[in-house]
Amino acid sequence: MKQELKGIFFDIDDTLYSTTIFAEKARRSAIQAMIELGLKGAPEALYQELIEVTQEFEPNYGFHFNKLLDRLPKEASSHCNPAILVAGAVISYHDRKFRELALFPDAPPFLEKLSQTNLIRGIITSGLAIKQSEKILRLGLLKYLSGQEAIIISDQVGINKPNPKLFQKALDRFGLAPSETAYVGDNPKKDILPCQQLGIRTIWMDRGGKHSILEPSIKPDYRVESFLEVEEILKKWGVNLP
Amino acid sequence: MKQELKGIFFDIDDTLYSTTIFAEKARRSAIQAMIELGLKGAPEALYQELIEVTQEFEPNYGFHFNKLLDRLPKEASSHCNPAILVAGAVISYHDRKFRELALFPDAPPFLEKLSQTNLIRGIITSGLAIKQSEKILRLGLLKYLSGQEAIIISDQVGINKPNPKLFQKALDRFGLAPSETAYVGDNPKKDILPCQQLGIRTIWMDRGGKHSILEPSIKPDYRVESFLEVEEILKKWGVNLP
């Protein structure tokens, strides 16, 4: 069977690992650390307030914990040094996040098989260059990819999802036609729609996360819940997986 | 014997822990990580270039590794993704620094004894609030101090060393006279001189680091090389150490 597919690209967040689960654990750890350092309040109420902060400010805004303190009643932290509370929260958040940061269990065996094929394997992701690069390295993704050139980060190329130009960049870089390229992502509007517009094959990774809603105008070629299913699709597309 | 001393404050960097040694190890780890990710160059030459960067830009400037890449010949990194190189350097730098971050071996037993006295025990330090607070927490200093109020960070109070007002702030906060207060720091110009001007007792912690030069106008009450010597001085000042 002739191989129709020549390249495959992946989103990172909530496609290769669960940012949702890790972020919640890390935020709850941060709240706990602040309480241990003297912050007054019920853990659940403080956590909900922090969630509001993250929704009202940009996810990459660097002062979520400071803003949390700003909006709590003065009595909650007036006996503390705010810098100590924030540092305690940041330490606890990061330590927890890095300790628990891991690919979805079905991802490594799939990526290992994929790296034994002749497919071009890359990442197309939105976010700050330093943060996305750190995830790629800490998640151990680099060894599965076709080199550092196959990493396309919106912040680095000046084009952001859902602009199809971001995905076109990957095709141009490797001389790929859209029809011989696939993209796997969790966000219908930001991942699936622009690829659909270009004619790139789309696999919607829907593990029931926050983007688990499909509008009628968005039509992924496949909807999957794990990389085991992606393997089956790749076989149909003529990829010779070991 | 009547206790003459009521409060003692400490500098952090190169007084309670060696920032010099840890920074060198962390920077060499960062260079090694960049080389493993593809950066071309001799480790020692790259390390010296990085040292130049840190001397030419502010220590808290967040893009030292980016600047290192900017000033190397293009061929050194043209085959790499700069964000991946920088992320690799940052991860390696921080992991190494946090793993090795520790008080000077003579500090914990001394601070433990000190915390059993009735002295007010605090920190007066220069630097970014989040960075200095993180050091206080990661070094495990908080448990030895008279609460979070005894932490005075230049960035938080808007006054920086060597302005004597920074040290006056500590006196005011606890109602201490200069003559009943001591400060321990490694930097003659930034730590000893302003305290001398106010009449605070000064102990110069001189472990042969980068500030091991005393100008004739600066006259610390004592010069020491370890906290064992500080213990002896405190006993002379009537402090009842266990």
Q: CATH number for the domain including B55? A: 1.10.150.520
**Residue B190 within any structural domain of the chain:** yes
**Residue A70 within any structural domain of the chain:** yes
**Residue B61 within any structural domain of the chain:** yes
**Cα Rg, chain B, nearest whole Å:** 20
DSSP state of B50: H
- pLDDT higher than 60, residue B18: yes
* Across B99-125, average pLDDT: 96
Using an 8 Å CB-CB cutoff, list residues of chain A that contact chain B: 37-38, 79-81, 83-84, 86-88, 90-91, 129-130, 132-134, 136-138, 142, 148-149, 151, 153, 155-156
The minimum CA-CA distance between A167 and chain B, rounded to whole Å, is: 17
* Across B137-152, average pLDDT: 97
Q: CATH number for the domain including B218? A: 3.40.50.1000
Taking CA atoms, A58 is separated from A49, A69, A154, B96, B241, in Å, by 15, 17, 16, 30, 51
Cβ contacts of A136 on chain B, cutoff 8 Å: 84, 87
Through-space distance between the first and last CA atoms of chain B, rounded to whole angstroms: 15
The minimum CA-CA distance between A16 and chain B, rounded to whole Å, is: 18
**Residue B109 within any structural domain of the chain:** yes
Q: Is the same domain home to A149 and A168?
A: yes
Residue A172 and residue A119: Cα distance in Å, rounded? 16
pLDDT score of B138: 96
- List chain A residues with pLDDT less than 70: 1-3
Angle A130-A131-A134 from CA coordinates, rounded to 5°: 85
Q: Is the same domain home to B225 and B111?
A: yes
The residue in chain B having the minimum alpha-carbon distance to the alpha carbon of residue A85 is B133
**Residue B1 within any structural domain of the chain:** no
For the stretch A87-133, pLDDT in tens is: 999 999 999 988 889 999 999 999 999 999 999 999 999 999 999 99
For the stretch B38-94, pLDDT in tens is: 999 999 999 999 999 999 998 778 899 999 999 999 999 999 999 999 999 999 999
- pLDDT higher than 90, residue B98: no
Pairs from A61-65 (Cβ < 8 Å, separation ≥ 24): A65/A30, A65/A34, A65/A89, A65/A90
Q: Is the same domain home to A115 and A192?
A: yes
Cβ contacts of B133 on chain A, cutoff 8 Å: 81, 83-84, 86-88
Q: Is the same domain home to B69 and B173?
A: no
Q: Is the same domain home to B11 and B52?
A: no
**Residue B199 within any structural domain of the chain:** yes
Query: DSSP string of B128-153?
Result: -HHHHHHHHHHTT-GGGSS-GGGEEE
Q: Is the same domain home to B35 and B121?
A: no
Residue A143 and residue A14: Cα distance in Å, rounded? 20
Q: How many CB pairs lie under 8 A apart between chains A and B?
A: 80
Q: Is the same domain home to A191 and A206?
A: yes
Per the structure block, which two tokens stand in for B87? 């992320």
Name the strand (E) or helix (H) holding A88.
helix A82-100
Cβ contacts of A83 on chain B, cutoff 8 Å: 129-130, 132-133, 151, 153, 155-156
Flag if A84 and B38 touch (Cβ within 8 Å).
no
Q: How many domains does chain A have?
A: 2
**Residue B242 within any structural domain of the chain:** no
Give the SS3 label for residue B42: coil
- pLDDT higher than 80, residue B179: yes
- pLDDT higher than 90, residue B21: no
- pLDDT higher than 70, residue B228: yes
**Residue B213 within any structural domain of the chain:** yes
Give the SS3 label for residue B122: strand
Q: Is the same domain home to B109 and B173?
A: yes
Domain boundary among B78, B100, B122: B100
Q: Is the same domain home to A115 and A202?
A: yes
Maximal CA-CA distance, chain A: 71
Q: How confident is the model at residue B2 (pLDDT cuts 50, 70, 90)?
A: low
Q: Is the same domain home to B90 and B118?
A: no
Domain boundary among A100, A116, A140: A100
The residue in chain B having the minimum alpha-carbon distance to the alpha carbon of residue A34 is B137
Q: Is the same domain home to A229 and A164?
A: yes
Flag if A81 and B156 touch (Cβ within 8 Å).
yes
Cβ contacts of A155 on chain B, cutoff 8 Å: 83
Q: How confident is the model at residue B20 (pLDDT cuts 50, 70, 90)?
A: confident
Flag if B81 and A156 touch (Cβ within 8 Å).
yes
Scored b (16 or more CB within 10 A) or e, B95-116 reads bbbeeebebbeebbebbebbee
Handedness of CA A210, A213, A215, A221 (dihedral sign): positive
Cβ–Cβ under 8 Å, residues A213 and A238? no
User: Average pLDDT, whole number, for chain B?
Assistant: 95
* Across B171-180, average pLDDT: 97
Point out the residue among A80, A83, A129 whose CB comes nearest to the CB of B83: A129
Q: Is the same domain home to B82 and B188?
A: no
Give the SS3 label for residue A17: strand
Mark residue B75 as left, alpha or beta (left: phi above 0; alpha: psi -120 to 50; beta: remaining). Answer: alpha
Pairs from A202-208 (Cβ < 8 Å, separation ≥ 24): A203/A230, A203/A233, A205/A11, A205/A14, A205/A15, A205/A230, A207/A14, A207/A18, A207/A104
Domain boundary among A43, A74, A100: A100
What residue numbers bound the domain in which B140 lies? 7-17+103-236
Cβ–Cβ under 8 Å, residues A106 and A226? yes
